[in-house]
C-alpha cells in the first residue's frame, strides 16, 4: 500500500487536528495486530500491556509532528519495536519457554480453535508457536512482521533498522527452521 493513499495516515492527521473519532478508528484497526506482535515477541502479558500502552502514548504525543512519509502501520511497529528492544535490554532474561507457553495458552481462543477440536491442528499450531519462540530475536521479529503484519522486506527493514538483504536472509533462515519443526 502506498503511503500516499494510506487511510491510516489520513486518520492520524485528522486526530492531529483534534478529531478523536479518527483516533478511535485508527486504534480499532491496529490494536489487535500490535498486541499480538508484542505478545509473541516478549512472551510476557504484563510487559506486553506496558509496551502496548507505551506505544500508543508515543503515537498520541507525536501526533503534531507526524508526517505520513510511510505507512502508519510501519511507523507504529517501528515505535513498538524500539520500545521492545529497550525493554529487552533493561529486563533480561525474558520469560522462559514454559512461562511463555502458559501465557500464550491462557489467552482465550475461539471455540472452533480449541485444542480438542482437532488434535492435529492443535499440535501443528503449538509446534509453530514454540518454534517461533525459539527463534533468535532478530529472526523472530522478522517472521512476526512478515506473517502477522504481512510487511514487505523494505518495511521490515525500516522497522528493525536492518538492511533489506539482511531481513531477507533472516526470513529465509527462520522459515527454514519453522518448516523443519513442522515436518518433524
Partner 1 sequence: MTTPLPPQDPREPDEALPGEAELAALYRQLPQNEPGPALDAAVLRAAAQALETQPAVPVERRRAPREPGDWVHPKPVAVTPAAPAGSARKLRPRWLVGLSSAAALVLAVGLAWRMHESPRSESAPVASGSVAPVQAEAATNAPMPPAPLPAPPKQPPPRILAAAPHASMAAKSRQAVADKQAAPVSRDEQQLAGVAPRAPADVTRQASNEIATSAAKPAVAEAAASAPSLQSTMVAAPAPVAAAADTATSASDTPTQELDKIRLLFAQGHDDEARQRLAAFRHAHPQWELPPELQAKLRKP
Task: Point out which residues bind partner 1 (CB under 8 A).
Answer: 2-4, 6, 9, 13, 15-18, 20, 23-24, 27, 31-32, 35-36, 39, 49, 52-53, 56-57, 60-61, 63-69, 104, 107-110, 113, 121, 124-125, 128-129, 146-148, 150, 152-154, 168, 171-172, 175-176, 178-179, 182
Q: From CA 83, how far away is CA 140, in angstroms rounded?
A: 16
DSSP-derived letter for residue 113 is G
* Residue 49 or 96 having the CB closest to partner 1: 49
**Dihedral angle sign, alpha carbons of residues 116, 124, 128, 181:** positive
Give the closest residue to 179 by CA, choosing from 136, 138, 141, 143.
143
Cα first-last separation, the chain: 37
Query: Taking the complex as a whole, how short is the minimal distance between the CB of residue 124 and partner 1, in angstroms?
Result: 6
Q: Cβ atoms within 10 A of the Cβ of 107, count?
A: 9
* Residue 20 or 92 having the CB closest to partner 1: 20
Give the closest residue to 15 by CA, choosing from 79, 65, 83.
65
* Residue 52 or 83 having the CB closest to partner 1: 52
Q: Cβ atoms within 10 A of the Cβ of 77, count?
A: 29
* Residue 3 or 88 having the CB closest to partner 1: 3
* Residue 2 or 92 having the CB closest to partner 1: 2
Query: Taking the complex as a whole, how short is the minimal distance between the CB of residue 13 and partner 1, in angstroms?
Result: 7
Q: From CA 12, how far away is CA 10, in angstroms rounded?
A: 5
Query: Taking the complex as a whole, how short is the minimal distance between the CB of residue 119 and partner 1, in angstroms?
Result: 14
Say if CB 153 and CB 164 are below 8 A apart: yes
Amino acid at each position: 500500500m502506498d503511503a500516499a493513499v494510506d487511510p491510516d495516515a489520513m486518520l492520524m492527521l485528522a486526530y492531529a487536528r483534534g478529531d478523536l473519532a479518527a483516533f478511535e478508528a485508527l486504534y480499532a484497526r491496529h490494536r489487535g495486530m500490535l498486541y499480538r506482535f508484542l505478545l509473541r515477541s516478549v512472551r510476557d502479558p504484563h510487559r506486553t500491556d506496558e509496551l502496548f500502552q507505551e506505544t500508543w502514548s508515543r503515537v498520541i504525543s507525536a501526533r503534531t509532528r507526524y508526517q505520513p512519509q510511510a505507512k502508519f502501520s510501519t511507523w507504529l511497529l517501528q515505535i513498538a519495536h524500539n520500545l521492545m528492544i529497550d525493554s529487552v535490554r533493561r529486563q533480561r532474561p525474558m520469560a522462559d519457554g514454559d512461562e511463555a507457553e502458559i501465557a500464550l495458552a491462557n489467552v482465550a481462543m475461539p471455540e472452533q480453535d480449541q485444542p480438542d477440536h482437532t488434535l492435529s491442528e492443535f499440535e501443528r499450531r503449538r509446534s509453530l508457536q514454540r518454534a517461533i519462540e525459539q527463534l533468535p530475536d532478530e529472526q523472530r521479529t522478522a517472521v512476526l512482521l512478515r506473517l502477522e503484519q504481512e510487511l514487505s522486506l523494505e518495511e521490515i527493514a525500516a522497522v528493525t533498522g536492518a538492511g533489506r538483504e539482511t531481513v531477507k536472509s533472516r526470513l529465509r533462515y527462520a522459515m527454514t527452521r519453522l518448516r523443519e519443526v513442522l515436518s518433524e
